[in-house]
Amino acid sequence: MNKHKVSPKYYIYDDSEGNGRFVETTYEDESFVVEADPLKTEYLRTNPFLYNPEKAKFPIFSIEDFLIKVGKEEMAFGDAIRNSEFSLLKRRRIVKKAFRTWNKSYSMAKTATFSESDKMVEVIGEVSALKFSWKLKLILCLLFVLTLFLSEINSYLWQSFALTRFGNYFHNVLFNMYSENIWLKTVGNLTVYIILFTIFYSSFYSMISRDFSRNYRLAQKYLDSSERSISRSYKKRWKNARRYYLKALRSYKTPYFPPLNIEEIQEGELNIDVFKQICQVLVDRAYKYKKSKPVLNVLKTVLMFLSISGSGTILVFTVFNMILSIF
């Protein structure tokens, strides 16, 4: 219900019976006296096209409740365009100026938000991805097979090979080596498990990088499409509302035509605030990803070092003992 002053009377738009009409009242009618709320007054100075009913501090029912400047005075948009003391030409100018001001305000807010998001996306895109190359994975697989073969001399791998002449010789060399250096057996067994863990870790390591890159690309596409959707939605709402009031002023003989409900111009589910939230989520994910990179890289380096060192130790001792067995 909106109140519009036409001195010395008030007219209230009443839609309680489903057939909206203006009802005359006066100052003496206390049921329509509304005390000014400084906080609400300040809120009504904002842009109606940025109104979000889910986050609004105050419930607003029409675009006509918002305040605009008319000369040196400040008044509700509805009061200004329905003031019988203003000529039709002046009221049309008021409508055009108000919508021009709101459009400029919205465009500035939208540009600031979209520009900031573009910078965020650009910076996030420069975050280097974690890499565990296929060459390293191949080396790990070869080391695993080699270390397992040299360490587990009583395993199924040796059943057929040990029956051959060279296999029997090689088996005896390894058997004597582990008998003389018991700690080597422990090193070999630990290295097998370390390499196996490193192989699984490499998959996890690569998965994190792929997920981040994929989510970044999806978020970038979503933000681009959201930006276009928000712009299209706003332009449609702004043009329709502006056209409605200019047409109403021209068509109605009196200024008492139905006010435009706030639902016609308020932001939809996808709006600038949601856009900001999506950008912030993307930034938070990038921050966590970047923060975890040093730990992941250190663990990768340690595991690779242990895998190569353990396998190298077993291989060096094996070659050394084979040379000793010749002499």
DSSP letters of 233-265? HHHHHHHHHHHHHHHHHHH-SSS--PPPBGGGT
214, pLDDT greater than 50: yes
8 A C-beta contact, residue 318 and residue 177: yes
Is the pLDDT score of 127 beyond 60? no
Do residues 92 and 33 make contact, with C-beta atoms less than 8 angstroms apart?
no
pLDDT of residue 8: 41
Predicted confidence at residue 51, as pLDDT, reads: 87
- pLDDT of res. 30: 40
Statement: residue 242 has pLDDT above 90: yes
Among 169-173, 176-180, 190-194, top mean pLDDT goes to 190-194
**Confidence at residue 2, expressed as pLDDT on a 0 to 100 scale:** 46
Burial 73-112 (b: 16+ CB within 10 A, else e): eebbbbbbbbbeebeeeebbebbeebbeebbeebeeebee
Look at 80 and 223; give whichever has higher pLDDT.
80
Helices (H) and strands (E) in the chain, counts: 8, 5
CB 241 within 8 A of CB 56: no
pLDDT(238) > 90: yes
Mean pLDDT on 85-105: 92
Which strand (E) or helix (H) includes residue 315? helix 272-326
